[in-house]
Structure 1
Amino acid sequence: MKVFLETERLILRYFTTEDTENILKLDSDPNVMRFINGGKPTEYNTIKEQVLPRFLGYYQKYEFFGFWATMEKSSNEFIGWFHFYPAIENPFAVELQIANSNEIALGYRLCQSTWGKGYATEASKALINKGFTEWEVPRVVAWALIVNKASTRVMEKVGLKWEKDFVFTESQLPNLQPSERKIAFYGLNKNDFQLM
């Protein structure tokens, strides 16, 4: 296991080709996928041929940015992932012209069994702290569906500030109703950052 970052309760490690089943289990939970695509599971072949190769590809391009498999220290179980990568790598953000080249996008997807434990906040703080203090990140951004109150609360807890709302298109999120496609966009500049 190649470790990228540790927090008090979590290990963020590099993904490997052995993680297909871990991602499949995560993406097969309709509650996990509810605010991603309306609850639709990701197919095995999509994970094996598209999702995982994309995750692994970041390690060739960047030293500090990408997607990180997340392990719970107490159980040594895979519980999801965090991402911290250039926002202009997100095709939806580029299409909507909300991403800038100086921004690093923060995000995560966690197993439902871990919700409410503060893991999203814990690892997000660690990534933001490292980004601003060690990795020369000028700005961190994150976005979530407005109806996803848990994720917008995490953004606020880790010091990001609401900046604007926008709406994903029907082609981007076809399984969600128009009212559910509204997004809250948060950001934090390095010179406004306080160590957490």
Structure 2
Amino acid sequence: MIIETSRMLLRPVERDDIDDLVRLDSDPLVMRFVSSGDATPRSTIEDWVVPRAQTELRTGRGGMWTVIDRRYGAFLGWVSLRAPRHSSRPELELSYRLRREYWGRGLATEAARIVTDRAFTDLAAQRLFASATSTHTASRRVMEKLGMRVCGIHVGDEYDPHGFGEVEYDLLREDWQRRNAVWPSSTDLTA
């Protein structure tokens, strides 16, 4: 499934995206809240990230979409939905990552809103959740703009491997439906 808005194109991740994904995850500022700035090894992206995302997309349990600038064709980053392995509930985890030169333009919110709508319409999720370190205010703001609410704080446990404190947000299907009664859907974003 390819989704277009006036500013971006979201398409399922492909093996051809590996170089862009490696470059993205090699930026210490992009990775500072993910891995304290450490790059994701290329082998992890090739052997685990891309194959898992493609499998999730094929099985209807999520997926990863590359975010492409519609005007110039530039790789901006990615957004994903992933079924947690530890849960049998109909829930998905939302994640996103953008190249730093595109921060602060509302692109993460726009891309996240698109896949949030997909989670509840096409993938039958009852709950969507996401987390960020307590100090990552920009990422937390994206979640809040989606209508997500704080549902947990993790300090010094397996969810907080770097000692920053993790804040978990969630959005329930009923809350998403209420939000959509007043907000335009992501498909209304195309001009």
SS at match of 1:41: coil
TM-score under structure 1 length normalisation: 0.82
Counterparts of 1:29 and 1:185, CA distance in 2: 24
CA contact (8 A) 1:143 1:185 kept: yes
Cα 1:54–1:117, aligned 2, differ >3 Å: closer, same or farther? same
The one-letter amino acid paired with 1:128 is T
Distance of 2:173 and 2:152 partners within structure 1: 19
Which residue matches 2:170? Answer: 187
Instruction: Provide the C-alpha distance between the structure 2 equivalents of 1:123 and 1:100, rounded to a whole number of angstroms.
Output: 26
Q: TM-score with structure 2 length normalisation? A: 0.84
Distance 1:170 1:163, change over 3 A: closer
Instruction: Please tell me whether the aligned partners of residues 153 and 167 of structure 2 are also in contact (alpha carbons under 8 angstroms).
Output: yes
Q: Does 1:114 align with 2:102?
A: yes
Unaligned runs of 5+ in 2: 184-191
Matches within 5 A, 1:4-43: 4-43=2-41
State whether residues 62 and 123 of structure 2, in contact with CA within 8 Å, keep that contact through their aligned partners in structure 1: no
SS in 2 for 1:60: helix
Displacement of 1:148: 0.6
- Report if the CA contact (8 A) 2:154-2:160 is conserved: no
Q: What residue number does 2:149 align with?
A: 161
In structure 2, the CA distance between the partners of 1:136 and 1:48, relative to structure 1 (3 Å rule), is: closer
Change in CA separation of 1:184 and 1:172 when aligned onto 2, cut-off 3 Å: closer
Q: How many residue pairs align between the two structures? A: 179
Are 1:11 and 1:72, in contact at CA under 8 Å, matched by a contact in 2? yes
